[in-house]
A and B are shown apart, each in its own frame.
Chain A
Amino acid sequence: GENVEQHPSTLSVQEGDSAVIKCTYSDSASNYFPWYKQELGKRPQLIIDIRSNVGEKKDQRIAVTLNKTAKHFSLHITETQPEDSAVYFCAASIGGNSGGSNYKLTFGKGTLLTVNP
């Protein structure tokens, strides 16, 4: 089955700096890669996702890049703010046209991002 590795496990940056979190996946059939942010005691919330037919996607200060050949994808947060502090999870999912496909998410172990004011 799919295996997702995520690095680093903890990341501390100064406010205004950039943060980069990297993930690798094992199953070349995976074609959907969401990133979730989880604040302490709260639910995981999607912040950005990318599908395998694109290499990069950007939404304001957040961007995700995907390298299908190398099977890795990264989250980039620019101009970090204290409210960006949270645990970030990458995930991979296999999607297709077969009926009843479940599109389960396989998660990385998470990165605790701390943005110091």
Chain B
Amino acid sequence: EPEVTQTPSHQVTQMGQEVILRCVPISNHLYFYWYRQILGQKVEFLVSFYNNEISEKSEIFDDQFSVERPDGSNFTLKIRSTKLEDSAMYFCASRREQVNTEAFFGQGTRLTVV
């Protein structure tokens, strides 16, 4: 069964450093998302991406965040200057169709900012 894959599984970075989280969505999917889950809290929407552009972003997704689909397969989330409060599990998700269908989640990247 096709899966969304994310790398790395765990990243530790120093405050102020840039990090790039990588995702490979399922190949025939068209809609891509990043969510994050701070330990013990709910999964929160960050950004959605369709047709090579951001379609919606949350208040969390400020100027420090950016997304890119550089080569038609990878979907990346960049945090330019990490803060302690960016520590969380980051999930990539993708879905195939516009009409409400299942969103498939990757296994997550645990980001720890020290």
Query: A102 and B105: CB pair below 8 A?
Result: no
Asked whether A104 and B91 contact (CB < 8 A) given A46-B102, A95-B99, A95-B100, the answer is no
Q: Which residues of A contact B50 (CB under 8 A)?
A: 100, 102
Nearest chain B residue, comparing its CB with the CB of A32: B100
A65 at the interface (CB under 8 A from B): no
- Chain A interface size range: 20 to 34
B-side interface residues, number (CB < 8 Å): 26
Indicate with 1 or 0, residue by residue over A18-55, a CB within 8 angstroms of chain B CB atoms: 00000000000001101010000011111001010000
Closest chain A CB from B93 CB (angstroms): 8
Q: Mark the stretch among A56-64, A70-78, A105-113 that contacts chain B.
A: A105-113
A89 at the interface (CB under 8 A from B): yes
B31 at the interface (CB under 8 A from A): yes
Asked whether A102 and B102 contact (CB < 8 A) given A44-B43, A108-B42, A109-B42, the answer is no
B95 at the interface (CB under 8 A from A): yes
Taking CB atoms and an 8 Å cut-off, the chain B residues in 78-98 that contact chain A are 91, 95, 98
CA distance A102 to B99 in the complex (A): 10
Query: A105 and B103: CB pair below 8 A?
Result: yes
Contacting A34 at CB < 8 Å: which of B41, B44, B45, B102?
B102
A93 at the interface (CB under 8 A from B): yes
Q: Which residues of A contact B99 (CB under 8 A)?
A: 95
Query: B43 and A104: CB pair below 8 A?
Result: no
A101 at the interface (CB under 8 A from B): yes
26 A-B pairs whose Cβ atoms sit less than 8 Å apart in the complex = A31-B100, A34-B102, A34-B103, A42-B107, A43-B4, A44-B43, A46-B103, A49-B102, A51-B100, A89-B43, A95-B98, A95-B99, A100-B55, A101-B98, A102-B33, A102-B55, A103-B98, A104-B45, A104-B48, A105-B33, A105-B43, A105-B45, A107-B42, A109-B41, A109-B42, A110-B42
